[in-house]
Structure 1
Amino acid sequence: MSMLLIIAIICMTLALGFYTIGVFAEKKSGTLLTWHAIVFWCGFIFDTTGTSIMSKLAGSGFQLNLHGVTGLIALLLMAFHAIWATVLLIRKDDQSKKVFHKFSIVVWAIWLIPYVMGMFIGMNG
């Protein structure tokens, strides 16, 4: 196993860890807090890094297949999610911060699809 592949796997696993902690801590607290947004950004950065490394290892960029499309959707949703969390915190929109966890869980669940799919592709390929 190459060192780049190990780094990519670590990045993707860190993305899963950060995102899961952020989403469920936010739900448990009942409101969006600053540290949740920081953790969402960390998850996004690690996911983007891992995805970039995996693309380099595959020798290609975006691929129009199920994994590529769901992965792109997940990355875009993660970016929007982190941006929107930051906007709500800056605006101090307390009502929206209390219901933001519903959106967070949906984004997290969608993100899991390409994550799990990537594990199966890696095991089979």
Structure 2
Amino acid sequence: MSAVLEHANITVADPNGTAAWMEKVFGWHVRWEGAAINGGYTVHVGEENSYLALFTPRTAAGKAPESYGIIGGLNHLAVIVDDLDATEAAVKAAGFTPVNHGDYEPGRRFYFHDENGIEYEAVQYD
């Protein structure tokens, strides 16, 4: 038996704004957008076979506490990239700060937080 992750659904303040920087940084595209559960709005951004669903509720939600201390918390999302240096430049151009660089088997990586406080890992495997 085999399984492949198709998508993850995360809550953001501005799904169109988040999708816009993901298109620039990761080279993804908007696959779909429209009305969502409980009067919210969702933008699906990614590639042909996988994507992130960027959901915003009808009424502004509060900011989540630090995720590493919560059962069920989203700690970070990892994205494999072809060129880590170019991705880091794009992350900086988008206004985010790369941190926690690592160069170890099986690849190089860095992390950054977006405008929603969500942590991303960019990794390049050699």
- Give the TM-score band, short-chain normalised: under 0.3
Q: Which has the higher strand share?
A: 2
- TM-score normalised by L of structure 1: 0.26
Q: Which has the higher helix share?
A: 1
By relative contact order (CA 8 Å, sep 6+), the higher-ranking structure is 1
- TM-score normalised by L of structure 2: 0.26
